[in-house]
Amino acid sequence: MRSRDGDYSFTQSISSIISLLLCSSVIFADEYIISYRYSVKNATLYSETLYVSKAMKKCMGRPYDTLLLESQKSEILKEILLANQDKFIEFLYKIGLSVRYYEETLNGKNDSSTILTLPSKCFKVDFNDSFVRIAPLK
C-alpha cells in the first residue's frame, strides 16, 4: 500500500515480516501422529499407552495451540513427552481428551473404570536447541 507521497507503508511491512517469522517455525515443522490412552480399574492403574509416529503423508489443518517443552537435548519425541508427562497430559485435557467413566454396584461390590483417550491426532513439532514446540492441527 502506498502513501500519498509514493512511499510504501513502513509499519505494514514490518508487521507482516514479524508475523511471518513467528509462524514460520510452526509451518515448516515436522508432522507427527500422537495418540494416548490411560485406563484405571477399581482405583488401580490398568494400562497407559502413548503412541508417537512420524506422519507418512501431509496432515491437513492449521496449528491452533502451542505447548513448549524442554528437550533435554533429545531428538526423540516420545522420550521428550514422557520426560514432561505432567505438562503434556494437562495440555491434552485442554485440546480435547475424552473421558469415559463406568461404575456398577452389584451385591455390595463396587466396580468402576475410567478411560482417558486422545484419538490419533496430527501435531506439528518443531525441534530447537533447548525446547520443542508442539502444536495440534485443527
Q: What is the pLDDT of residues 76-112, one digit of tens each?
A: 999 999 999 999 999 998 988 899 999 999 888 899 9
* Domain assignment of residue 45, given as a range: 29-136
Domain presence at residue 37: yes
Question: Which residue, chain included where needed, has cell 513439532?
Answer: 125
Report the candidate in 35, 55, 40 with the shortest Cα–Cα distance to residue 96.
35
What distance in Å separates the CA atoms of residue 96 and residue 132, rounded to the nearest whole number?
21
Domain presence at residue 23: no
In sequence order, what DSSP letters do the residues of 91-103 get, joined into one string? HHHHHT-EEEEEE
Domain presence at residue 132: yes
Give the mean pLDDT of 65-82. Answer: 89
Q: What is the pLDDT of residue 73?
A: 78
Q: What is the pLDDT of residues 32-42, one digit of tens each?
A: 999 999 999 99
Report the candidate in 98, 104, 116, 118 with the shortest Cα–Cα distance to residue 40.
116
Domain presence at residue 2: no
Domain presence at residue 14: no
Domain presence at residue 24: no
Domain presence at residue 3: no
What is the domain count for the chain? 1
Domain presence at residue 11: no
The model's pTM is 0.71
Q: What is the pLDDT of residues 104-133, one digit of tens each?
A: 998 888 999 999 999 999 999 998 888 999
